Amino acid sequence: MNVKANRKVLIFGFVVFVFIIWIIQNPIGKFGYHGFGYTVYSAIPIPYFDLKIGPEGIPQIREKSHFVSFNEVNEYIGSLRQDYDITLIIGTGYEDMVNIDEKILESNSNVIVLKTPEAIEKYNELKDEGRKVAIILHSTC
């Protein structure tokens, strides 16, 4: 092999190595790296935006807001009232600035409200246990 071919193989090997490390640290179907304004879900980096992830595991961008309404939960994850196996986690931000409509807590006992870092950890924990889980997550304050 010539030097040019060796270089290509080396670069390709390095890219594959980095990709494998990225997937290990940011597993498919769970949260990986996260910090104020930056979240990685299912190996997809998501800067700034808030997220909604239903029991099927498909992420959706959520409008930035410091309030989670009963109507939003009902429209997005309406099956919570019918399917008592689903746990809804609400991440209230890194500084706990999100308010929750009281009707959400009154309508179902399978709702967990935590600061965003703890909500992410709880989501991953429940996924590891094989539980059905949905999350509404505020990625900043």
pLDDT band for position 86 (cuts 50, 70, 90): confident
61 pLDDT exceeds 90? yes
The conformation of residue 80, written as its DSSP 8-state character, comes to G
Q: In the predicted model, what is the mean pLDDT of the chain? A: 90
Residue 139 in tokens: 């990625």
The DSSP-derived string for 115-141 is -HHHHHHHHHHHHHTT-EEEEEE----
CATH of 3-137, one of 3.40.50.720, 3.30.1490.20, 3.40.30.10, 3.40.1230.10: 3.40.1230.10
Mean pLDDT of the 25-53 span? 94
Domain extents for the chain?
A: 3-137
Mean pLDDT of the 49-76 span? 91
State the pLDDT at residue 106: 85
Rounded Cα gap, residues 29 and 72, in angstroms:
23
pLDDT band for position 78 (cuts 50, 70, 90): low
**Do the beta carbons of residue 95 and residue 37 sit within 8 Å?**
no
pLDDT band for position 18 (cuts 50, 70, 90): very high
